Structure 1
Amino acid sequence: MILGEMSWPEIEKGLKKTRTVILPVGAVEEHGPHLPVTTDTHQALEVAYEVARRREVFVAPPVHYGICRSTRGFPGTVSVGFNALRDYVYDILLGFHESNFRYVMVLSGHAGGQHMSSLKEACQSAVNNTDLRISLLTDFDLIRCDTPGDGHAGDIETSRMLLHRPDLVRGLPPANHPKRPRYLILRSVREFMGNGIMGDPSSASAEKGVRYFEMAVRGVLEALDELEGFSV
């Protein structure tokens, strides 16, 4: 059930079937010269929509912006602050509670450390202050990649976009595996990263995208089993 396309009577009727909602969270962030800056949002949404085809859950409109600390040196990366994301998502979670949802999965297509920490604080505060049950995960962690050392804008993300939005993929650039400084603090990864890739998009394919996508969907379904079935 796509929450943003439903009227309130339809939502009220749907709540008699399930009180679970998935909140996709993305980012507006460079993904190399070949993928759109909304790649993370696309990935989270596609997984959530497929889960909703297989299971009675609501899919909420996504949070498009996130924390993109390391890639801020690239045009098109638009980051929000730690507190801003935390407080915004916390208010959304309270809104779900007021609308009689009971179970919430926050599904992030972006896996940055500060981004996930901010979401975790929002979720923990909502759990502390309501009777919501909340899961937080990034679908990137659910996928086992075929390509060693794959990362940002590499095999996984390019394959998934070739599956869902091939019209937005602008070629398959060669691998780029920049060496991260161990101790040096930099303003952005652009200072050592080059074109914004950390991985091997040249090895990507839509066929791989099918397998990666299925891994993510199955992982989310397992997490929903835990969310809805866990008792204390």
Structure 2
Amino acid sequence: MLLQHCAWPEVEAYLEKSTGVIVPIGSTEQHGPNGLVGTDALCPQVLAEAAGEREGIMVAPTLSIGMAQHHLDFPGSITLRPRTLMAVVYDVVQSLARHGFSHIYFLNGHGGNINTVQAAFAEYYSDYSLHKGPSCEAQTRLKMGNWFAGGRVKQISAERFGDKEGSHATCSEISLTQYAYPESIKDVGLSPEQAPEGHFRDAVDFRRQFPDGRIGAASGLANPETGKALFEAGIADLLDEYRAFLDS
């Protein structure tokens, strides 16, 4: 169930049956010459929407812009400052909690969001601890899962790509988008075949060290057949973790 496709009485009726919701969150940033700029938002979105349709779970609109300052030397990348993303996540949580959503699960597609989103959760809980009184417990439960870290997904990635998976513009994330959006597959040459690994500071340093935008990945190995396997694995991983979260 897509929240943005519902009328408000439908959301009210849903809350009588379930108070859980999935919020896809990602980023809008370069993913090398053959990866889509929207990769980090599209991956959790397609998985969350498929899981929601299969199991009748409410899925909120995707938060598609994240903390991606280090990609700004590549055209098309958009970032929020960490404090801005924290404020966005906090306000989304407060909005959903006001209506009675008690279990809010963020399905993340971008490693650069992890610390910031967790900090936003800490801010939300801190407000209860500091301002609501000694006997007031926060009734809203918050959790973030990373689609690329699920057990089934990691197994497929290891079997299909091994040490050529990389850490940015990975074979797996590009494969998933190729399966979900076959009309957008990019047929380009990549040189070197596997990008170097390394660390970076800011946007200029990132592009200096990784000129085509990839880190450690042989992204040309991406393929829609593996993307389909990752799609099914990602849904299964998500549903397992979401159900356990609802039971917590």
What TM-score, normalized by structure 2, do the two folds share? Answer: 0.85
1:126·1:132 contact (CA, 8 Å) conserved in 2?
A: no
Secondary structure of 2:70's partner? coil
Secondary structure, in 3 states, of the residue corresponding to 1:211? helix
**For 2:228, what is the secondary structure of its paired residue?**
helix
SS of structure 2 residue aligned to 1:137: strand
1:17–1:56 CA contact under 8 A, matched in 2? no
**Is the contact between residue 67 and residue 79 of structure 2 (CA under 8 Å) also seen in structure 1?**
yes
SS of 1:76's partner is coil
Q: Distance in 1 between matches of 2:125 and 2:238?
A: 20
Partner of 1:108: 108
Q: Indicate the residue corresponding to 2:174 in structure 1.
A: 158
1:72-151 aligned within 5 A: 72-112=72-112, 115-128=113-126, 129=128, 130-142=138-150, 143-144=153-154, 145=157, 146-147=160-161, 148-150=163-165, 151=167
* Aligned partners of 1:127 and 1:134 also within 8 Å: no
Hey, what's the Cα distance between the residues in 2 that align with 1:176 and 1:224?
35
| Native 8 Å contact 1:73 1:188 kept in 2 | no
Distance 1:161 1:137 in 2: 19
Contact 2:70/2:201 (<8 A) preserved: no
* Equivalent position to 1:190, from 204, 207, 228: 207
State the SS of the aligned residue for 2:145: strand
Counterpart for residue 23 of structure 1: 23
The TM-score normalised by the length of structure 1 is: 0.91
Amino acid at match of 2:232: E
1: distance between equivalents of 2:3 and 2:197? Answer: 43
Identity of aligned residues (%): 24
Secondary structure at 2:205's aligned position in 1? coil
Deviation at 1:185, TM superposition (A): 4.4
Letter in 1 for 2:180: H
Q: Which moved more, 1:145-154 or 1:191-200?
A: 145-154
State the secondary structure of the residue aligned to 1:32. Answer: coil
Runs of at least 5 residues in structure 1 that lack an aligned partner in the other structure: none
Q: How many residues align?
A: 226
Displacement of 1:70 in angstroms is 2.5
1:14 matched to 2:30: no
In the alignment, the residues of structure 1 paired with residue 182 and residue 66 of structure 2 have an alpha-carbon distance, to the nearest angstrom, of 24
Amino acid at match of 2:206: V
Structure with higher helix content: 2
Query: What corresponds to 2:227 in structure 1?
Result: 209
Structure 2: runs of 5+ lacking an equivalent: 129-137
Given the superposition, is the C-alpha separation of residues 173 and 155 from structure 1 closer, same or farther in structure 2, using an over 3 Å criterion? farther
CA distance 1:192–1:131, shift in 2 (3 Å)? same
Q: Residues of 1 paired with 2:42 and 2:80: CA distance?
A: 19
Aligned twin of 2:187: 171
Q: Give the C-alpha shift of residue 134 in structure 1.
A: 1.4
Q: Give 1:50-89 correspondences, 5 Å limit.
A: 50-89=50-89
SS for the counterpart of 2:105 is strand
Match of 2:246 in 1: 228
